[in-house]
Structure 1
Amino acid sequence: MALSGAAAAQTLQPYAVTGDAIPASLTGAAGDPTRGRILVLNRTSTCILCHSGPFPEEKFQGDLAPSLAGSGSRWTAGQLRLRVVDAPRLNPATIMPSYYRIEALQRVGAPWRGKPILSAEQIEDVVAYLATLRE
């Protein structure tokens, strides 16, 4: 699954933050949890470089960030969406990148300057998958 091509072609969709969430889908539609799981496990999107989770087939999972197990029980879809879109908004000290921001960022690799890491559709797919993780 090519991340850079889809994300590079994506124009950022406007969104509204309410409290600690982005309540509305970035695309106006629900994401696909099957595609979201693929993205979470794809080392290009970097989720499992820092997070672990219920992925027994993945031998090398991160331990720098909280486990993704139970994400859907801990947070609403809107809360998950904001954490993926712009985690530093909630915790300025986090090392988690903003996956759907392109302005006011620091230490951005040349291939990612001026474009989001994930497209709106990919964000929704990741959110849909994380929301299924209930235990």
Structure 2
Amino acid sequence: VPLAQALIALPMVIRLVYPALVSIGKEPIEQASLDGASSWQIWRFVESGMIKGVLLTAAGYAAIISVGEFGASSFLAYGSEGTIPTLLFRLIARPGEQNYGMAMAVSAILIVFVLSVMLLLSRYSRTRQA
């Protein structure tokens, strides 16, 4: 399942990270190279430092996509086991207050998770711009 989730989230991560990598000028990389830094050190200290915010945003989006696509990933991997979206559908489709209450609880947990990730990313973005 983790491999399937990574494959689903990878295009979004690439769409976020690639423009940031392209926007890095050649000057900092050349300066680090002239100072004797290896390619790994250039990536670790120069490039990743310049796009740290984008990397954190991409990680947050990947986490949200993985939660949202968990149903598809686990259905493809296991087939017979239930997923969160199918569980929600089953709970809402059955009559009774208890089923509806459980469905709302699971929905609330998912909403809180997604909102907390988005708020953390937004807060980090605002502190980096200030």
- The reply to whether TM is greater than 0.5 is no
Give TM-score, length-normalised by structure 2. 0.27
Tell me which protein shows more helix as a share of its residues: 2
User: Which has the higher relative contact order, 1 or 2, with Cα contacts under 8 A spaced 6 or more apart?
Assistant: 1
